[in-house]
Structure 1
């Protein structure tokens, strides 16, 4: 445990929640992926494949962490895990929030061409993603990082005047 705390620069026990949530999320993702590949097979085979996928994903995530450590501005390494958790929650939440909004507006696949429906669906999801990114980032104590990230993203889209 001491080695884990040193590696991720954890100074208080509550900060251990981020590596724990990261490992649980990675394990869940690995199991879901193995279930996609082996839908009708025995549970033991599914779990064995999930363990293999888990370690591959772990290697990938740690590689990405090393690359982003140099690029992103944060104080402690454990914050990087919380940033990834915020991105994951925001992506899922924007879809969860966007679907009822689209239904409320009367936008369905039946009353619009398929292409128009998906363009509107993605546009509405993108708008909610931007709002939720800052809000969920604030809940995880990463408001400054996500507000700067948001300003940079919107300025690249030519919408800089909306964040000044």
Structure 2
């Protein structure tokens, strides 16, 4: 307490004011500690929920394709019924192609060996690139449209869902940004 008294004298405040400041500081630190520990617990719960609810990209794409097919055909509108018709796969399995996905494949199965100009490429041309399916090709075309019809830097492709560093390197081999 002698330290606090000396500090109070140097700051020109009374002993009771110094006690009040000390208590307020203590409760502020205690509250911050409690908030931080609660936030950490909430973060852990959120991570566990996200891991439990995560789907592979192929699962999400097949869900989207089935939902789109049902919407176009005017069939089942309940998403639960669409999801019940999906094959259940484990993490290591690749899901079989459904008719909805197979029907959106390009007619030409030849893979691209040269380069194409991205700013003028069609969805079918983009699908000829190894690793680019109908959903990714659609995302790329929509991305180009959002950019005003012209993409100037390859790093901009990282904004597209599903494109990481590996896929970006593959795109750099097959695309030009003229």
The two structures have a TM-score, normalised by structure 2, of 0.35
Q: Give the TM-score taking structure 1 as reference length.
A: 0.37
Point out the structure with max Rg over C-alpha.
2
Relative CO higher for 1 or 2, CA cutoff 8 Å, sep ≥ 6? 1
